[in-house]
Structure 1
Amino acid sequence: MQLTVWTYEGPPHMGAIRVATAMEGVHCVLHAPVGDTYADLLFTMIERRAGRPAVTYSSFQARDMGGDSGGLFKRTVAEAYERFRPQVILVAPTCTGELLQDDPGGLARAVGLPIPVIPLSLPSYQRKENWGAAETFYALVRGLAGRGQPGPRPPRPEGQAPSCNILGPVSLGFRHRDDLVEVRRLLDLLGVTVNVVAPLGASPADLTRLGAADFNVVLYPEVADTAARWLERTFSQPSVRVMPIGVGATRDFVAEVARVAGIDPVPALDESTLRLPWYSRSVDSTYLTGKRVFLFGDASHVIAAARVAQDEMGFNVVGMGTYSREFGREFRQAAEQYGVEPLITDDYLEVEARLADLRPDLVLGTQMERHVAKRLGLPCAVISAPVHVQDFPARFAPQMGLEGANVLFDTWVHPLMMGLEEHLLTMFREDFEFHAEAAPSHLGSAAPRSLEPADAVVSIQADPAATLVAAPAAGDASPSSSTSPSTPGVTWEPEAEAELRKIPFFVRGKARRNTERFAADRGLARITVETLYDAKAHFGS
């Protein structure tokens, strides 16, 4: 067990709640202590849902652990059915409830409800949230769609439009709501009808119709992959697994859907609203071309985003990582294409250490990478869950499809442009017009005298003796906070600081870090001008 202030994924029962909340007529009953009822906040505060998530807790306390905790759970199941009248009930223990060794599935069946009760096996100490969501969705699909397994599929009648299921969108998913709208639009342009979307918005009755579709579109493999593979085996339904994130992937998605459905892909390839390719070529190359980017998040989004970053935006992928251990093999194969070492971890401190070492020009990650990048002074954009409330926007902001490609361009490039603005302000901060004491330029000659630095300059030069006396003290003073060393135990001489400021701003930070590392490796406590040039020669060779 590890104590941490952040986790990329919650326990597997959180995945079960996400699936149940996404659906209609499904309720989840968890055998849990009072302290495990925190899930409500994630849905009402972060996702901004209008209602509570579809979950009820047995909420046992310490006094129940030595008594009839099973009876408490049975009463909770019966009360949940009477209150919510669901069509299906899911039952499982939380990580703490698992320690009681009760059998929620058997206890729930003993209640004798007139609806299906599906027990979930969620090993809380071996698995995590996305696995729990995938296992829950698989259990629902197998338990409901598997009841009426058909015989061999007959050929589709001539003139009948092909149909598909869209699998994977859930509650608390990163832009799942908007992605679904964009993917539906693409399928509509291709003439493909949507049979069922699940879990998001689906009812148990909808799941019984999954076998009627010609094929499945797996939008989010972390949630839908296991269920899709079962549907392939059971109903002989092929799956489209291309995530249409970016221009190239959207074209591949359209081509794959057309191939599986046996239709013409041309109608969906109208790119008149697509701006990313031209914007990427027309924007100043210093914003994009060759910018070093690091990506972290769930495996599917990172793999898709890396392709967009390198092939469509002109970035250079210098690192990529994921917390999705279940997709480690696919992720390693993707990392090989970019010649980088994959980082597969759920420890945010390892990610922070990699970022501090690489110092990329742009970070594409989760909410945690946003915090880390801010601390390190790096531009950042969010590409994957887990996310905070600002990544559930009121506006339409998909990641998939042609409109999603436009959104990606804006989201990724704007931090770099703002970063350039900050660099310019830093570069000119000692200029006579732009220093901290200068009057606002819009005030012109009407600026108050108190804002001008002339008085301070005159007062210093009016007393030469004071200057002579103050000079030695100034030489002994430590550097200001704005130029303080990033390596502990290393001090810059004023002459070296002055020489460092002559280096262009966009490489000055790297020169400082290299010089401090050079000095630390050689045990030098103070950095002089000679040290600066020695470091330059060392790292430039």
Structure 2
Amino acid sequence: MKLAYWMYAGPAHIGTLRIASSFKNVHAIMHAPLGDDYFNVMRSMLERERDYTPVTASVVDRNVLARGSQEKVVDNIVRKDKEEKPDLIVLTPTCTSSILQEDLQNFVERAQIDAQGDVMLADVNHYRVNELQAADRTLQQIVEYYLKKAQKKGELPEGKTEKPSVNIFGMTTLGFHNNHDCTELKRLMADLGIEVNEVIPEGASVHNLKNLPRAWFNLVPYREVGGMAAKYLQEEFAMPYIDITPMGIVETARCIRMIQKVLNEQGASVNYEEYIDNQTRFVSQAAWFSRSIDCQNLTGKKAVVFGDNTHAAAMTKILAREMGIKVVLAGTYCKYDAEWFKEQVGDFCDEILISDDNGAIGDAIARLEPSAIFGTQMERHVGKRLNIPCGVIAAPIHIQNFPVGYRPFLGYEGANQVVDLVYNSFTLGMEDHLLEIFGGHDTKEVIHKGISAESDLNWAKDAKAELNKVPGFVRGKVKRNTEKFARERGLSEITLEVMYAAKEAVGA
């Protein structure tokens, strides 16, 4: 265990709460100490929710530690069942409840006697999985619970829908542009003549989960959430699923062709080639942009990509394959799914980094000095310190990444949005030129900082003046190389002579 001031994925209970609070009329009871209930504040702020977040903390305090939790937890479940009348209450364990070694399943069984709605325990190992893995597992568990319940009662509908239909998995609260992506996928399915059977879990009712097997196939656009539920449906109900992320022109077309294949194997007769061709050549602006002079100006520029598996892999492919940008490093913090990521990006980048250590990715960015970064909010902070522009493409994210306007990342409109993000993230040639002429946006003397907050070396006045003559886009590199040269030789002050010696040492 190590102390970290930045986590790319939160603890397991956050993933469980994301799933539970995404469903309609589902309440979560979180068994945790005071302080672990920050999810309520985070969700209401970031999602700009008008209603209260349906999560209640059953607080572990000194009385609980002295007498045990069972009575308090059971009372909280029964009380919320009477007050809110939810369809389902999910008891959410945390690391604290695991440490106390409490029999939470017994609590659930006790509460179910008096509760009118369903009560279930989120069966997640909080020491072994993170937020994303827990969300995936909790969604699968809820889907399985209600399908088995319907089977037991003989309420499971038979047969498929008359027209081709799809279940869309993985749309959750606090997901990166999930609401926008969902709208875009619904539009895409409508264009293809496919009905949307259910969207799970965002806005879904647990009573409708029994209808999931009626769809012709399942679509899992995100690698992180939805895969386990789709695999369960494939094993139990022989439902095919598609897990190609339709992000970018090429992958969107590949996803549509796979949908065509799955539907035709079930007796449909569809051909989407004309639709793909029309969207690619005439409707979407992304394909046009890739042939424009603006995109040619980006050819060969260096970029670093880092994020979750879904968005980092997709963005790496878009940059390298569709825009001619050189990806010098692609990385992900989803270490548990590293092999899949390596397989996806291996042919499209120079270097792969699998790490959840923000310092490691920060150091890699400082070493590679790309023209732009595409990552999470943490990489945006790193970029600010290094004066490298950053486009945010994946969670964890800031409130500015929950736009009120329409900003999907999936589908053909998503491809347009990605193009804008990429193009606007690079500091373009004319901008460099103007910054040099006018000295940036202010007249203060600026020395480009490295990844460290401050330099531990003194710069002589004449050396500092000489450094300021260096063009802005390479000033940071010159400063870091000079300071490295000085440290290796035990120098505490950088003079003009030291600068020239460092320059000769690197062959510049």
Does residue 317 in structure 1 map to residue 333 in structure 2? no
Contact 2:375–2:390, Cα closer than 8 Å, also in 1: yes
Does residue 245 in structure 1 map to residue 231 in structure 2? no
Does residue 427 in structure 1 map to residue 436 in structure 2? yes
What is the rounded CA distance, in whole Å, between the counterparts of 2:146 and 2:325 in structure 1? Answer: 46
The 3-state SS of whatever aligns with 2:342 is helix
Contact 2:81–2:116, Cα closer than 8 Å, also in 1: no
Contact 2:377–2:398, Cα closer than 8 Å, also in 1: yes
User: CA 1:484 to 1:273, structure 2 compared with 1: closer, same or farther past 3 Å?
Assistant: closer
Match of 2:337 among 327, 330, 334: 327
Q: Aligned AA for 2:272? A: P
User: CA 1:533 to 1:14, structure 2 compared with 1: closer, same or farther past 3 Å?
Assistant: same
What is the rounded CA distance, in whole Å, between the counterparts of 2:349 and 2:460 in structure 1? Answer: 37
Please, which moves more after superposition, 259-268 or 69-78? Answer: 259-268
Q: Aligned AA for 1:373? A: G
Deviation (angstroms), 1:333:
2.0
Contact 1:428–1:435, Cα closer than 8 Å, also in 2: no
Contact 1:118–1:139, Cα closer than 8 Å, also in 2: no
Residues 16-68 of structure 1: CA deviation (Å, up to 9, x unaligned): 11111111122212222222221111111111111122222212321221114
What is the rounded CA distance, in whole Å, between the counterparts of 1:233 and 1:37 in structure 2? Answer: 36
Contact 1:60–1:72, Cα closer than 8 Å, also in 2: no
Q: Which residue does 2:4 correspond to in 1? A: 4
Q: Aligned AA for 1:390? A: Q
Deviation (angstroms), 1:526:
6.1
What is the rounded CA distance, in whole Å, between the counterparts of 1:163 and 1:311 in structure 2? Answer: 31
Q: Which residue does 2:419 correspond to in 1? A: 409
Deviation (angstroms), 1:516:
3.9
What is the rounded CA distance, in whole Å, between the counterparts of 1:370 and 1:529 in structure 2? Answer: 33
Deviation (angstroms), 1:106:
1.4
Q: Aligned AA for 1:290? A: G
The 3-state SS of whatever aligns with 2:346 is helix
The 3-state SS of whatever aligns with 1:319 is strand
User: CA 1:420 to 1:2, structure 2 compared with 1: closer, same or farther past 3 Å?
Assistant: farther
Please, which moves more after superposition, 516-525 or 107-116? Answer: 516-525
Q: Which residue does 1:367 correspond to in 2? A: 377
1:196-215 equivalences in 2 (<5 Å) = 196-215=198-217
Residues 411-451 of structure 1: CA deviation (Å, up to 9, x unaligned): 2221324x6566334412479xx9949xxxxxxxxxxxxxx
User: CA 1:285 to 1:200, structure 2 compared with 1: closer, same or farther past 3 Å?
Assistant: closer
Q: Which residue does 1:233 correspond to in 2? A: 235
Q: Which residue does 1:472 correspond to in 2? A: none
Q: Which residue does 2:267 correspond to in 1? A: none
How many residue pairs are counted as aligned between the two chains? 491
What is the rounded CA distance, in whole Å, between the counterparts of 1:54 and 1:11 in structure 2? Answer: 19
Does residue 177 in structure 1 map to residue 184 in structure 2? no
Deviation (angstroms), 1:130:
0.7
1:49-68 equivalences in 2 (<5 Å) = 49-68=49-68
Deviation (angstroms), 1:278:
2.4
Match of 2:164 among 162, 165, 186: 162
Deviation (angstroms), 1:204:
0.9
Deviation (angstroms), 1:493:
7.2
What is the rounded CA distance, in whole Å, between the counterparts of 2:73 and 2:286 in structure 1? Answer: 54
Q: Aligned AA for 1:173? A: G
What is the rounded CA distance, in whole Å, between the counterparts of 1:313 and 1:354 in structure 2? Answer: 23
Residues 185-209 of structure 1: CA deviation (Å, up to 9, x unaligned): 1111111111111011111122111
1:140-155 equivalences in 2 (<5 Å) = 140-148=142-150
Contact 1:490–1:520, Cα closer than 8 Å, also in 2: no
Contact 2:317–2:348, Cα closer than 8 Å, also in 1: no
Deviation (angstroms), 1:305:
0.8
User: CA 1:36 to 1:487, structure 2 compared with 1: closer, same or farther past 3 Å?
Assistant: closer
Contact 1:31–1:104, Cα closer than 8 Å, also in 2: no
Q: Which residue does 2:313 correspond to in 1? A: 303
State the identity %.
Answer: 34
What is the rounded CA distance, in whole Å, between the counterparts of 2:215 and 2:295 in structure 1? Answer: 46
Contact 2:457–2:494, Cα closer than 8 Å, also in 1: no
Q: Aligned AA for 1:81? A: D
The 3-state SS of whatever aligns with 1:428 is helix
The 3-state SS of whatever aligns with 2:30 is strand
Contact 2:447–2:468, Cα closer than 8 Å, also in 1: no
Does residue 85 in structure 1 map to residue 67 in structure 2? no
Q: Which residue does 1:337 correspond to in 2? A: 347
What is the rounded CA distance, in whole Å, between the counterparts of 1:79 and 1:311 in structure 2? Answer: 56
1:508-527 equivalences in 2 (<5 Å) = 508-523=475-490
Residues 331-355 of structure 1: CA deviation (Å, up to 9, x unaligned): 1223422354432222222222222
Deviation (angstroms), 1:371:
1.7
Deviation (angstroms), 1:81:
0.5
User: CA 1:69 to 1:525, structure 2 compared with 1: closer, same or farther past 3 Å?
Assistant: closer
Q: Which residue does 2:457 correspond to in 1? A: 489
TM-score (norm 2): 0.88
Match of 1:264 among 266, 271, 274: 271
User: CA 1:81 to 1:285, structure 2 compared with 1: closer, same or farther past 3 Å?
Assistant: closer
How much is the aligned-residue C-alpha RMSD, in angstroms? 2.9
Deviation (angstroms), 1:104:
2.0
The 3-state SS of whatever aligns with 2:117 is coil
User: CA 1:236 to 1:407, structure 2 compared with 1: closer, same or farther past 3 Å?
Assistant: same
What is the rounded CA distance, in whole Å, between the counterparts of 1:519 and 1:92 in structure 2? Answer: 54
Contact 2:223–2:309, Cα closer than 8 Å, also in 1: no
Specify the structure having the higher radius of gyration (Cα): 1
Does residue 507 in structure 1 map to residue 506 in structure 2? no
What is the rounded CA distance, in whole Å, between the counterparts of 2:35 and 2:460 in structure 1? Answer: 52
What is the rounded CA distance, in whole Å, between the counterparts of 1:163 and 1:18 in structure 2? Answer: 26
Deviation (angstroms), 1:79:
0.6
The 3-state SS of whatever aligns with 2:417 is helix
Q: Which residue does 1:293 correspond to in 2? A: 303
Q: Which residue does 1:456 correspond to in 2? A: none
1:25-174 equivalences in 2 (<5 Å) = 25-111=25-111, 112=113, 113-148=115-150, 160-174=162-176
